[in-house]
Amino acid sequence: MPEFETDSNLVQEYKYGFVTDIESDTIPKGLNEEVVAIISAKKKEPVWMLEWRLKAFRRWKKMKSPTWAYIDCPEIDFQDIHYYSAPKEPVNLADMDPELLKTFERLGIPMGEKDAMSGVAMDVVFDSVSVGTTHKEMLEELGIIFCSISEAIQEHPDLVKQYLGTVVPPGDNFYAALNSAVFTDGSFCYIPKGVTCPVELSTYFRINAADTGQFERTLIICDDNATCSYLEGCTAPARDTNQLHAAVVEIVALENSEVKYSTVQNWYAGDENGIGGIYNFVTKRGHCRGRRSKISWTQVEVGAAITWKYPSCVLEGDGSVGEFYSVAFTNNHMQADTGTKMIHVGKNTSSTIISKGISAGQSSNNYRGLVKVVEGATNARNHSICDSLLIGRDCSANTFPYIESEDDSAHLAHEATTSTISEDQLFYLKSRGLSEEDAASMVVKGFCKDVFKKLPLEFSVEAIKLLEIKLEGSIG
């Protein structure tokens, strides 16, 4: 666990809210079969992929957007969105548009091979396309495939065909169906048998163009006895209109493999009056297919106007393990309905859930979780801890834990607390010379510690800094 260091120079405003002035190839607004075909054509996809998309699209047309989440979302006009936008000039790492390079510098992403972070291989998705992946050669030597999903569809069609949609089927839910029809880019990772990926695999998602939806699709496969750690980060310009990010992430963990998936989500959250911001409607699911496989989700959610997201694990392999660690911070008018599902299918499976929700301003922050033990999943174990911290009087927190157990041998434990930062804690810390903000920030970081320590070290430091910035101005 790194020591927390406060950088007092950090600014409170959303520093990623700028727009890159770059010529884009954007298709007209609207969604129909022709648009799906255009996207597929732009990606130079094989016919089977187009058919897969069209099937999903036809399903989606019959579906209705879900209303069960505890969020208040204006109706989205799906015909008023651009479904594809990409920088006009072909982009690659060697001769990247200087504007783009500048953008990545401002975002703090080292994209040149020479500045690339030594411990991290990075893929960057700018609006609808991947603009480059670092450390490719080193990974290739190990047999690791880490590339954009578009590239994978062309270069590794058999792997994609074998796994795409097997964890989150196209008809799983409204947004998953939409994503399956119009997904544009995302990452593809394949770790071959017995390989421990030596670097963090990381994707950075950037929305730049206005009125554009981003439909990320990521697929991670960890073969027998393989291990990898993957991290994604997200930002978008500050705009007074809402933008949609509807992602699908699928993870397949085969026998005795381990995948650690971490997210630092910092989409533009709208202004203090709740104008603008990203709608983050995401389906993330991992499938522990092999025996003793393990999937661990860690998420730090500090952005987006509305978040609807439940990274889940289907624990099918005997002895498999699922974990979910979450910090969700909401401020101003942000709304979050987030949590997880742990589905115990195999024998001797176990899962752990630690959720820390922090609400400030007039925001609403909800944990929604399902722990399900199917018949025959003997000796399933789950331990859930869901804590909420309220800052101020106008915010709210709710916990919706669902437990369905069909097997008597299951051991399920659930703990939940809701608290405010107490006056006594603030007085105590202030009487030691800490300002009100530093005192509150310290209490909040302590509250989140169990989750932060699950993040890869370098990202843990970043996540803590990010949370500090978000806390500024939300206290007092």
CB of 389 to another protein, least distance (A): 11
CB of 444 to another protein, least distance (A): 9
CA distance 274 to 271: 5
Residue 6 touches another protein, criterion: CB under 8 A: yes
Nearer to another protein, 251 or 353 (CB): 353
CB of 351 to another protein, least distance (A): 23
CB of 394 to another protein, least distance (A): 20
Query: Which tokens is 196 given?
Result: 């421990």
**Residue 330 phi, psi dihedral angles, 5° rounding:** -125, 145
Nearer to another protein, 288 or 327 (CB): 327
Looking only at residues 389 through 448 of this chain, which bind another protein when binding is defined by CB under 8 A? 422-425, 427-436, 438-439, 442-443, 445-448
Nearer to another protein, 48 or 427 (CB): 427
Amino acid at 181: A
CB of 355 to another protein, least distance (A): 15
Residue 8 touches another protein, criterion: CB under 8 A: yes
Residues 159 and 149 sit within 8 Å (Cβ to Cβ)? no
CB of 322 to another protein, least distance (A): 24
Nearer to another protein, 28 or 433 (CB): 433
Angle of helix 457-471 relative to helix 436-452, nearest 10 degrees, comes to 150
Which residues, in sequence order, are bridge partners of residue 194?
Answer: none
- b/e per residue 165-178 (b: at least 16 CB within 10 A): bebbebbbbbbbbb
Q: Would you state the torsion angle of the CA atoms of residues 134, 135, 140, 141, taken in this order, to the nearest 10 degrees? A: 170
Query: Which tokens is 171 given?
Result: 């008809």
Looking only at residues 67 through 96 of this chain, which bind another protein when binding is defined by CB under 8 A? none
DSSP result, 103-132: HHHHTT---STTTS-TTEEEEEEETTEEEE
Task: Work out the end-to-end distance of the chain between its first and last CA atoms, rounded to an integer number of angstroms.
Answer: 29
Nearer to another protein, 450 or 458 (CB): 450
Looking only at residues 110 through 169 of this chain, which bind another protein when binding is defined by CB under 8 A? none
Residue 172 touches another protein, criterion: CB under 8 A: no
CB of 382 to another protein, least distance (A): 23
Residue 465 touches another protein, criterion: CB under 8 A: no
Nearest Cα residue to 150 out of 174, 178, 183, 173: 183
- CA triple 262-397-457, angle to 5 deg: 20
Residue 291 touches another protein, criterion: CB under 8 A: no
Nearer to another protein, 228 or 443 (CB): 443
Residues that bind another protein (CB under 8 A): 1, 3-4, 6, 8, 422-425, 427-436, 438-439, 442-443, 445-450
